[in-house]
Amino acid sequence: MAGEQQQDNVDSALRQGIRNFWYPVSRSEDLGSKPVGLKCLGEDLVLWRDSRGQPHLFSDYCAHRAARLSLGQIHGDILQCWYHGVQYDTTGQCRLIPTEGENSPRAKQLCVPSYPAEEKGGIIWSYVGDVKKFPPPPLEVPEELLNDEWQRYVLAVTWNINWLLYLDNLVDPLHAPFLHARSYTLSRGLTEDKLKVSDTDYGIFVERVGQRLVNFDYVEAHFPNWFRLDIPYPRSAGPGGPLHIVVIATPVDEKSSLLFFIRMRRVSGWKRFLWRALWRTFLERMAWNVIEQDRIILESQRGLQSRLREHRIQSDLGAVKFRRMLEEEVARQQAVSEAQSGPPPREAVRTAL
């Protein structure tokens, strides 16, 4: 463990994502009538809908011979493996081994691990973790996703970066006037400023001291993986106020992340029509321009080993605080897990020694 940490100064429990939290795993529109294979927190998973359209998330292997279930077929409330036709219900329990016929005692012994999954706000979420040791809390999503007053667009991309690097980026408003200087929305304001970080009941609030609503000037960092901010729009963006943004990061594995960028405005009537028209013809392209700038610079860091080369400054105050929160949560979960498991058996101790 200690040797692994020294390689990049990051706890091994964080590299592929912190478990026992809700994560977005897909846009609703991207999951149709066929199973979809994906990866989350280093695990190969299969996402599928039952006869009522409810999503389910399983480990992506058949309990028989470990073939990918994402290559299989859906029959109502059954997910069937393509290899030998083994069938699983919505809980992951095997219901039929066709080669052994009905009432096979072996079928009752087979199951695949599953994770809770829910669909809210145009996104499918899953609680990825140990549901027995850490029972999932009710899923709470950003309120804007459930309010039809907000006209929103959900953009989803997978980048070749560790999720921790993107978290650092989101609690660092002072990168905006430099990295995004040549952008539609983020070219204005002071380049010299300081950050203030405040503890909140949801995580931390990071803000620039010298200005507000001129550039990327503040962010609500909701632990462990979603963020809310406003970016001022120029008059050419039409009515509706600032660009309201929610960003959510889902760790895929140690080297990649699934990122959800949700752009929205609270508009109605003809203003909503104009916002949609401007988004499709002009503003979406401008949004992708800023997103691409982040991708290029974060991929240039070449992974978590970048932390061994960093020399932190005042503008890293938010990143330092958020990193500490993640590390404290890992320590808390480890303590809970050890307390529930109890001391190792005497024979195991002798073997380890």
Average pLDDT of span 79-92: 97
Q: Looking at 128, 161, 186, which one is the last position of a domain? A: 128
Residue 174 lies in a domain: yes
Cβ-proximal residues to 154 (8 Å cutoff; 6+ apart), any chain: 27, 122, 123, 260, 261, 262
* pLDDT given for residue 340 in this prediction: 86
181 and 237 co-located in one domain? yes
Count: domains in the chain: 2
Write the pLDDT tens digit of every residue in 19-40.
999 999 999 999 999 999 999 9
Q: Please return the burial class of 120, using the count of CB atoms within 10 Å of its CB with bins 0-12, 13-18 and 19+.
A: middle
Whole-number pLDDT of residue 59 = 97
Q: What is the CATH number of the domain that holds 246?
A: 3.90.380.10
Pair 88, 192 in one domain: no
Residue 334 lies in a domain: no
Band (pLDDT 50/70/90 cuts) for residue 66 is very high
User: Hey, how many other C-beta atoms are within 10 angstroms of the C-beta on 121?
Assistant: 20
> Is 45 within the bounds of a domain?
yes
pLDDT reported for residue 331:
94
Q: What is the pTM of this model?
A: 0.90
Say yes or no: 218 and 290 in one domain: yes
> Which pair of structure tokens corresponds to residue 283?
């503003």
Contact between 233 and 241 (Cβ < 8 Å): yes
With respect to residue 281, please indicate whether it lies within any of the assigned structural domains: yes
Q: Is residue 64 part of a domain?
A: yes
Quick one: pLDDT band at residue 160, thresholds 50, 70, 90? very high
For residue 341, what pLDDT is reported? 77
Q: What is the pLDDT of residue 13?
A: 87
Do 312 and 219 fall into the same domain? yes
Q: Are residues 105 and 246 in the same domain?
A: no
Greater confidence, 8 or 157? 157
Per-residue pLDDT at 204 exceeds 60: yes
At 344 the pLDDT is: 56
pLDDT at 11: 85
**Does the pLDDT of residue 3 top 50, yes or no?**
no
Residues 182 and 295 occupy one common structural domain: yes
- Please, which contacts does 188-196 make with residues 24 or more away whose CB atoms are closer than 8 Å? 188/214, 188/215, 188/232, 189/214, 189/215, 189/217, 190/214, 194/314, 194/315, 195/314, 195/315, 195/317, 195/318, 196/317
- pLDDT (average), residues 115-140: 96
Q: Note the pLDDT of residue 353.
A: 28
CB 318 within 8 A of CB 208: no
For 234-257, what is each residue's pLDDT tens digit? 999 999 999 999 999 999 999 999
Based on the fold, state whether residues 309 and 160 are members of the same structural domain.
Answer: yes
Mean pLDDT along residues 40-68: 97
Pair 60, 185 in one domain = no
List the domain range (segments joined by +) for residue 91. Answer: 27-128
- Does residue 63 surpass a pLDDT of 80? yes
274-323 pLDDT, tens digit per residue, is 999 999 999 999 999 999 999 999 999 999 999 999 999 999 999 999 99
Same domain? For 51 and 187 the reply is no
pLDDT score for 127: 98
Q: Tell whether 168 and 253 lie within a shared domain.
A: yes
Q: For residue range 165-186, what is the model confidence (pLDDT) as tens digits?
A: 999 999 999 999 999 999 999 9
Share of the chain above pLDDT 90, in %: 90
Instruction: Mark whether 148 and 291 lie in a shared domain.
Output: yes
Domain-located, residue 94: yes
Find, among 79, 98, 105, the residue nearest to 90 by Cα.
79
- Confidence (pLDDT) at 349: 39
Average pLDDT of the residues of the chain:
93
